[in-house]
Amino acid sequence: MSPVLVALLALALGACAAQAPHAAGPAFALMGDVPYSQAQANLLDAMIDEINAEPLEFVVHLGDITDGDGPCTDEWLEARQRQFARIRHPFVLVLGDNEWTDCHRSGFDPMERLARLRTLFHSRDPQLPRFERQSGEYPEHVRWIALRTLFVTLNVPGSNNNFGRTPEMDAEYAQRMRAVEAWLENSFELAARENLSAVALLMQANPIFERQSARERDGYSGLRMVLARHASRFPGPVLLAHGDTHWYRNDRPVPNLQRVEVFGSPYVRWLRAGFPAAGARDFPARPVDPLR
């Protein structure tokens, strides 16, 4: 075979491998930061059909179900609720900034929008094993156990975590982050008590681990320290899955913390993620769909 044909065959095999799914095994879907428009909502319908054809344990949307400038209307949110109801697997929505904290840009009260989101997306429990919600004012903080892995959701949105815009929102941020840290503490205690193999944390915001020093008005500085502390103390692998900055990454910003970011608008894609194999330190995860 000529060198040219060998090179072409290698390229073709590489392309097939890049688009091939993971080896058979339990898996779950991650997506985020879509749809930002009706055109993307139409693409999301097609992607839901693809997800429904997969044997998945559950599906998690990591927040931002509208554009940063809206729409934040009931009509848009209710349309997304109907759309996500088409997913045949257990489904969990993590809350992002675009659907509540940023809705002030289009004339809405963020706290009223947050209450509406809770009614639409967090008033019924999905069929997930050992599913529970944080008691009190944050029903969007949920967790469940699947294949000896604890999954924990956190209401930590982009736009600096709703910090630094108004005194009222700064007070909201402070109260919510106390609940976030308590939920993390309690969840890692549960994982240790039950000798679970791994922990997966799910939130919308990119906490910007690359920041070398905390800014005066950094809405994530405290959380970064809390995440690093819990990850360093837990004996098994810890995953942080988030959206927010719309570009796939899979790295380790701090010891024993694997960070996976999903693609977002304008890309309508999802990640197929697996559970860590015995003795492994990583959750296998990569995009499934080609770029659109």
Name the β-bridge partners of 254.
Answer: 257
Task: Let me know: does 72 contact 113? Beta carbons within 8 Å.
Answer: yes
CB 277 within 8 A of CB 147: no
Q: Tokens 């995440």 identify what position?
A: 227
Choose the weakest-confidence range: 2-16, 25-39, 107-121: 2-16
Question: Domain segments of the chain: what residues?
Answer: 28-287
**Which residue in 187, 185, 155, 153 sits closest to 172, CA to CA?**
155
Q: Is the dihedral of CA 251, 199, 281, 92 positive or negative?
A: negative
Mean pLDDT score, 7-34: 60
Determine how many CB atoms are found less than 10 A away from the CB of residue 137.
11
Cis peptide before 90 (omega within 30 of 0): no
Please name the residues in contact with 20: beta carbons below 8 A apart, sequence gap of 6 or more.
Answer: none
Average pLDDT over residues 268-291: 90
CB distance 184 to 12 below 8 Å: no
Is-contact 79 42, C-beta < 8 A? no
* Contact predicate 191/277, CB 8 Å: no
Segment 210-257, tens digit of pLDDT: 886 656 789 999 999 999 999 999 999 999 999 999 999 999 999 999
Is the model's pTM score more than 0.85? Answer: yes
Q: Residue 217's pLDDT is what?
A: 87
Beta-bridge mates of residue 245: none
Write the class of the CATH domain 28-287: alpha beta
pLDDT category of residue 290 using cuts at 50, 70 and 90: low
Burial class (CB in 10 A: 0-12, 13-18, 19+), 291: exposed
Gap between the Cα atoms of 180 and 177, Å rounded: 5
Q: What's the pLDDT score for residue 24?
A: 57
Residue that the structure tokens 């069929």 belong to: 127
- For residues 115 and 121, give the distance between their C-alpha atoms in angstroms, rounded to a whole number: 10
Q: Considering just the CA atoms, what is the radius of gyration of the chain in Å? A: 19
- The predicted-structure confidence for 125-183, as pLDDT tens digits, reads as follows 999 999 999 999 999 999 999 999 999 999 999 999 999 999 999 999 999 999 999 99
What φ, ψ does residue 282 adopt, rounded to 5°? Answer: -120, 150
